[in-house]
Amino acid sequence: MAVGIFDSGLGGLTVLDAVSRRLPEIPFVYYGDNAHAPYGVRDADDVYELTTRGVERLWKAGCDLVILACNTASAAALRRMQESWVPADKRVLGVFVPLIEALTERQWGDNSPPREVAIKHVALFATPATVASRAFQRELAFRAIGVDVEAQACGGVVDAIEEGDMILAEALVRSHVDALKRKMPDPQAAVLGCTHYPLMEEVFQDALGPQVKVFSQADIVAESLADYLQRHPDMRGPGEEAMYLTTGDPKRVSDRATQFLRRRVEFISA
């Protein structure tokens, strides 16, 4: 029954928390590649190699379905993986598409031509690698027309969160929002295009103002996964044990994860 959740570090815990609440009967195996975080400053080939290595480990743990709860991996590696690497009996899904479906108010699997949507001006906050990939704009163009996207690469935010320096993370978020607003003064919506960023969602909202609708991924991905598993129950893998795996130092990662989730989490070496 197990499903895998992959992330470059701790940000994917926001997704894990949401999917665990939505699907409490499913054992989830989490893989954090903390030894190589952050991915947002790496090139596409490097991200691909690290992501495939982590996904293979999750397959070994009995997870036939793996969610890339990492926007950088979803942007830089997922399409290449799906086209030439993932075997027929496995699935690897990303976090961009559910977010874009929510933004454009389209149902899962709606393959109709792109159309006009209510939101015309979107601010995208993401890692440098995600911004450089333009994957968000590409996926959005499949579903909507006439949407202006202004992307802001949020350097340093993931590093600060991973180090537990939330004061620095807040200062960086506010600086990046100011930079975005100089390019797009009045966004209608903001997309938090990194699974670390929900930990700073209140700061993003405060800096943007109450008139901006902030789209955060965790709950959106949880609903999408529940829908997917209802339609594809065969993709529940044979694994039966929930686990937290890390390529980093298990004690240090466990302590950081416990701070984030406000409950004790024990990681083991991947």
Q: In terms of domains, do 65 and 107 share one?
A: no
pLDDT (average), residues 109-128: 90
pLDDT (average), residues 150-171: 94
Residue 71 identity (one-letter amino acid): N
Q: CA-based diameter of the chain, in Å? A: 50
Give me the catalytic one of 3, 67, 70, 97. Answer: 70
pLDDT tens digits, residue range 38-72? 898 899 999 999 999 999 999 999 999 999 999 99
CATH number for position 106: 3.40.50.1860
Answer yes or no: 63 catalytic: no
Domain that holds residue 112: 97-216
Q: In terms of domains, do 156 and 177 share one?
A: yes
Does residue 8 contact residue 32 with C-beta atoms inside 8 Å? yes
Q: In terms of domains, do 145 and 190 share one?
A: yes
Task: Give 111's pLDDT tier (boundaries 50, 70, 90).
Answer: confident
Look at residue 218 and tell me whether its pLDDT is greater than 70: yes
Helices (H), the chain: 13-22, 44-60, 71-76, 78-84, 96-104, 128-133, 135-141, 157-162, 166-183, 201-208, 217-231, 250-261
pLDDT (average), residues 263-268: 95
pLDDT at 261: 86
Task: Give 149's pLDDT tier (boundaries 50, 70, 90).
Answer: very high
Structure tokens at 244: 């937290």
Q: What distance in Å separates the CA atoms of residue 239 and residue 61, rounded to the nearest whole number?
A: 6
Answer yes or no: 154 catalytic: no
The residue out of 179, 195, 216 marking a domain boundary is 216
Q: In terms of domains, do 146 and 253 share one?
A: no
Give me the catalytic one of 81, 169, 172, 194. Answer: 194
Q: In terms of domains, do 80 and 108 share one?
A: no
Q: What distance in Å separates the CA atoms of residue 53 and residue 264, rounded to the nearest whole number?
A: 27
Q: Identify the CA nearest to 85 among candidates 44, 52, 133, 47.
A: 52
Q: In terms of domains, do 82 and 104 share one?
A: no
Q: In terms of domains, do 21 and 84 share one?
A: yes
Q: In terms of domains, do 36 and 24 share one?
A: yes
pLDDT (average), residues 9-18: 94
pLDDT at 108: 61
pTM of the predicted model as reported, rounded to 2 decimal places: 0.90
Q: Tell me if the bond preceding 210 is cis, omega within 30° of 0.
A: no
Quote the number of domains for the chain. 2
